[in-house]
């Protein structure tokens, strides 16, 4: 188990070498003890409307739509979607350690709600897509901060803080793209 965890953490930190990544290592994925309430909160970040699953799919869709005319934006969207995949993996492992099966669903309303592709903002134009990406990062940061406030496990709080650092970096990169393409001077 220790060797498996060490290998997993090593590969988990490999992605910080990507050009769009924040070069700060991630903490080890661990929890103090199983806790269904914490898992339910993290399922919102994992597969809710504002979630890593939504961000991955939205950013990858935007990557495809930008490829032909805006290769720099396409590259940004693809790179950030890959970083969001790392967040998804860390959240999934944490949810599992908390004692809940990390299916693409939420449980906080006393019923299962499965992730839906309707959560993705597909958009129709460059600037509305970028504006949606900026809004998604802001909403994710707010959700993570609220979950940090509700969770008393220091390992999870530390992981969420590191994810928030990434989301703030993504917000900066998307804002720079908005300024370049949507707010010409």
User: What would the pLDDT profile of 125-154 be if each residue is shown by its tens digit?
Assistant: 999 999 999 999 999 999 999 999 999 999
- Domain membership flag for residue 152: yes
Q: How does DSSP classify residue 25? A: P
41-71 pLDDT, tens digit each: 999 999 999 999 999 999 999 999 999 999 9
- Domain membership flag for residue 75: yes
Give the SS3 label for residue 103: coil
- Domain membership flag for residue 55: yes
Q: Which of 94, 112, 99, 134 is nearest to 48 (CA)?
A: 112
Q: How many domains does the chain have?
A: 1
pLDDT of residue 12: 57
Distant-in-sequence contacts of 123-129, Cβ < 8 A, 24+ apart = 123/62, 123/65, 126/66, 126/70, 126/73, 126/181, 126/182, 127/178, 127/181, 127/182, 129/62, 129/65, 129/66
pLDDT of residue 62: 98
Task: Output the CA angle 89-96-20, nearest 5 degrees.
Answer: 15
CATH of the domain at 38: 1.20.1260.10
- Domain membership flag for residue 3: no
- Domain membership flag for residue 164: yes
pLDDT of residue 19: 82
- Domain membership flag for residue 18: no
- Domain membership flag for residue 23: no
pLDDT of residue 94: 98
- Domain membership flag for residue 88: yes
Say which residue, 19 or 136, is predicted with more confidence.
136
Q: Which of 114, 13, 116, 123 is nearest to 59 (CA)?
A: 123
Cβ proximity of 80 and 170 under 8 Å: yes
77-125 pLDDT, tens digit each: 999 999 999 999 999 999 999 999 999 999 866 788 999 999 999 999 9
Residue-range definition of the domain harbouring residue 36: 30-181
- Is residue 72 over pLDDT 80? yes
């Amino acid at each position: 188990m220790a060797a498996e965890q060490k290998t997993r953490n090593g590969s988990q930190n490999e992605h910080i070498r990507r050009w769009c990544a924040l070069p700060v290592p991630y903490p080890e994925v661990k929890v103090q003890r199983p806790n269904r309430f914490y898992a339910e909160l993290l399922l919102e970040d994992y597969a809710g409307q504002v979630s890593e699953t939504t961000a991955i799919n939205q950013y990858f869709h935007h990557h495809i739509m930008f490829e032909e005319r805006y290769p720099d934006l396409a590259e940004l969207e693809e790179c950030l979607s890959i970083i969001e995949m790392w967040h998804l993996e860390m959240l999934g492992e944490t949810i599992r350690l908390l004692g809940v099966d990390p299916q693409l669903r939420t449980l906080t309303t006393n019923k299962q709600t499965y992730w839906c592709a309707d959560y993705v903002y597909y958009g129709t134009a460059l600037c509305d897509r970028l504006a949606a990406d900026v809004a998604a990062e802001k909403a994710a940061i707010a959700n993570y901060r609220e979950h940090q406030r509700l969770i008393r496990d220091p390992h999870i709080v530390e992981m969420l803080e590191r994810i928030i650092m990434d989301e703030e970096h993504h917000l900066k990169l998307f804002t720079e793209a908005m300024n370049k393409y949507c707010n010409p001077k």
